[in-house]
Amino acid sequence: MNNPVRYIILGFGFFLIFVVGTILYNIGFFKDAVIEGTQEVTFNGVYKDYVGPYHKVLPLFEEVELAVKNLGNSCSKTYGVYLDDPDEVDADRLRAKIGCIVETEVKDLPEGLKFETVGPAPFLKLSFDGSPAAGPLKVYPKADQWILNQGLPKYEFVLEIYISGPNDEYVTEYYFPVTRKAE
């Protein structure tokens, strides 16, 4: 006689594999990052400084986006400038700038918000059309390899621009500053 517990465990195992596979597929884990080459980047941004674990920045994005919209500006793209390497800095000391890209300079900002113009500066651009949560696993190693192959020094920060489209589709553009080694 067959043991029904074995079938229950086997069924649960298949179910678990299906759920994990579906989640990985939906966040874009099976998609590849696209290297788009180097380009000059310039933009204006309104941002707020952040210190803490990078995976906890979402509420700050929402706060900055709301504040920028309340000032009468659009915020079609948000961005994060991640200033520290999580492999080298304790999570509670990681620094970032979390903000919205704006068309023109914004004055009379509420306390805590700052304005900046980024660039013009040369960056390596990669894009990834999966969830921003999966991006660092797919993008950073590819950028690291490209920078190593070019003989360039390691970047000091990473700029991520988040573009949300219809139907909860996301594209994240990753910009790694590139500078030539002193000859």
**Per-domain residue ranges of the chain:** 1-30, 34-177
Rounded average pLDDT over 73-101: 93
Q: What is the 3-state secondary structure (H, E, C) of 67-95?
A: HHHHCCCCCCEEEEEECCCCCCCCHHHCE
Report the C-alpha gap between 158 and 148 in whole angstroms. Answer: 16
Choose the most confident range, by mean pLDDT, from 76-80, 136-140, 170-174. Answer: 76-80
Q: Which residues of 142-162 are buried (b: 16+ CB within 10 A; e: fewer)?
A: bbeebbeeeebeebeebbbbb
Residue 6 is predicted with a pLDDT of 75
* More confidently predicted of 147 and 33: 147
Q: What is the pTM of this model?
A: 0.81
What are the residues facing 82 on neighbouring strands?
96, 158
Segment 118-125 shows an average pLDDT of 90
Indicate the SS3 state at residue 61.
helix
Distance CA 80, CA 134 (A): 15
Rounded to an integer, the average pLDDT of 69-90 is: 91
Note the CATH number of domain 34-177: 3.20.80.10
